[in-house]
Amino acid sequence: MPRRSAVNEKAFPSRTLVVDNGAYSIKAGFASPTPDSTNCHLVPNCLARERDRRVWVGAEIDTCRDFGEMAFRRPVEKGYLVNWEAEKAIWDSTFLDTKSKLHCDPDETNLLLTEAPNTMAALQANCDQVVFEEYGFATYSRHIGFLPSSTCGECWRLRFFPGPSLNAYNDIQHLFGAPARGVQSSATPADCVLVIDSGFSHTTVTPVYKGRPIHQAIRRLDIGGRLLTNYLKEILSIRHYNLINEEHLVNEAKEKTCFVSNDFKNDLERTWQNGSRTSNKRKTEDEAKEIVIDYVLPDYNTGIRGYMRPHDPSLAAKVKKMGAMANPGGVVEDFMTLGNERFAVPELLFNPTDVGMREAGLPETVMQSLSGLPSGLRPAMLANIVVVGGNCRMDGFMERL
């Protein structure tokens, strides 16, 4: 009888690197038994070139002081990783540099990587090839959600886990102050979760049932932070300064000043320059002061970052005549007066037709997603909504949604 050959499989490493490879930034950290926000690190997912042609890679941008006319190259387009040449340079700087907080030895590390829903098979195969051949991680799992739901024995042997989803767990409410549930209930996926992910490239609505996404009900809205930033650049370049080449400056201004209006028509009327259209001009002017602000542009020479302050009409009138004003410290500053731009730009998420886009807004997209589900699941989905992404951090977003 032939002797059976012994199979010596290498033990799995104890260290697992979790990477959410977003279009704007990489959220990454090492898994631990006691999750802590300090374990997660944000790394800009881009290459940037200064005016003097110096190139900054990934986290190096955090040490940059002059963002004037900086050009960005991002490996993720429309939510999909399409440029591995640029992405590899960022990953090398983030995961292989000994000075990085996320430094690791791929041979002794498991990789858990996220991807966008309904990613094309060719892009998935390209990603798998780079991870195995260029980096050689010990094990590798690619998912589209939040936390792993299940794997199979055959996949463990192949050291690759094509997991269908990463998933929110039952103890979601504990994150928002609700009493903690039992250990057993928090270790299983929530039965119904409606995930709304509004990020840099696009917005996706994904229904998840018992840890698995319902693919036929996934809906995508091609509006994200990049489009909002570009729209704000156009508005500011027409009304104030030419900022077409100042992506970083405008994006920073958007994050600090923009908000989602819960009454768009009324807020637009409040900021209307001609208050005589209303019955009480004085009241309209006072209400407009709550929205109209001055945004002081950053001074890259002194290292002063942009910030907003209450609007001063008298100061704005002087600037029109003199071109620039010095603050009490004697530093000359430039600023822009922002009014309806603050809420007209985020309004595109809810009414894309304002700029001629033939797409449904976010509420309609959610309802379209729910219409693809059995009627019995719809109330449970609406009762358990998880909202993620940078756009949801804008003031008023949750209330409007």
Using the Cα atoms of residue 232, residue 235, residue 240 and residue 245 in order, give the sign of their dihedral.
positive
Distance, in Å, from the CA atom of 333 to the CA atom of 319, rounded to the nearest integer, reads 10
- Phi-psi region at 177: left, alpha or beta (left = phi > 0; alpha = psi -120 to 50): left
- The CA distances from residue 231 to 208, 219, 384, 400, in Å, are 32, 23, 32, 21
Please compute the mean of the pLDDT values over residues 272-292 and round it to a whole number: 55
Q: At what angle do helices 225-239 and 247-257 cross, to 10 degrees?
A: 100
Q: Quick one: CA torsion of 262, 268, 270, 276, rounded to 10 degrees?
A: -150
pLDDT at residue 166, rounded to an integer: 54
Q: What residue spans of 130-276 are helical by DSSP H?
A: 153-158, 225-239, 247-257, 264-270
pLDDT at residue 317, rounded to an integer: 59
Using the Cα atoms of residue 383, residue 386, residue 391 and residue 396 in order, give the sign of their dihedral.
positive
Q: What is the pLDDT of residues 58-100, one digit of tens each?
A: 899 988 888 888 999 999 998 899 999 999 999 999 999 998 9
* For residue 284, pLDDT beyond 80: no
* For residue 43, pLDDT beyond 50: yes
Q: What is the pLDDT of residues 128-176, one digit of tens each?
A: 999 989 998 988 888 875 433 333 322 333 343 344 445 554 455 555 5
pLDDT at residue 322, rounded to an integer: 53
Regarding predicted confidence, which is higher, 283 or 105? 105
Residues of the chain above pLDDT 90, percent: 42
DSSP category for residue 12: P
Q: Which residues pair with 16 in a beta bridge?
A: 110
| Cβ atoms 343, 292 nearer than 8 A | no
Q: Which two tokens stand for residue 253?
A: 């201004």
pLDDT at residue 276, rounded to an integer: 40
The pTM score is: 0.82
pLDDT at residue 2, rounded to an integer: 56
Regarding predicted confidence, which is higher, 326 or 259? 259
Question: 38: closest CA among 46, 47, 30?
Answer: 30
pLDDT at residue 211, rounded to an integer: 78
Please compute the mean of the pLDDT values over residues 320-337 and round it to a whole number: 63
Residues of the chain above pLDDT 70, percent: 77
Question: 90: closest CA among 63, 60, 112, 58?
Answer: 58
* For residue 50, pLDDT beyond 50: yes
| Cβ atoms 389, 226 nearer than 8 A | no
Distance, in Å, from the CA atom of 297 to the CA atom of 270, rounded to the nearest integer, reads 25
| Cβ atoms 243, 236 nearer than 8 A | yes
